[in-house]
Amino acid sequence: MSEYLFDKLGLSKRDAKELVELFFEEIRRALENGEQVKLSGFGNFDLRDKNQRPGRNPKTGEDIPITARRVVTFRPGQKLKSRVENASPKDE
């Protein structure tokens, strides 16, 4: 992303990298404070609490509890879904 900003906006590589890092740091900070992050035209980052549930150790088959935890979820916005759906795959 910082390379893109460097190329398209003419920012220095250092400034472009710092801008990208600050953007993601703000998302992290908001989520750590329990806030929803809405990026217009892109999607929403939310926090979801998951209850404890039964699980299984894949190596031994032993039943083990999976502890309750908070997870980050992302719901893409309609514009993002539409653009991805209509994009033609690039050859790799």
Using DSSP, state whether 12 is helix, strand or coil.
coil
d(CA 51, CA 53): 6
Positions of CATH 4.10.520.10 in the chain: 36-87
pLDDT tens by residue, 64-78: 999 999 999 999 999
Say which residues have a Cβ less than 8 Å from residue 49's Cβ, sequence separation at least 6: 68, 69, 70
pLDDT tens by residue, 7-61: 888 888 899 999 999 999 999 999 999 999 999 999 999 999 999 999 999 999 9
Token readout for 43 is 């999607």
Architecture of domain 36-87: Irregular (4.10)
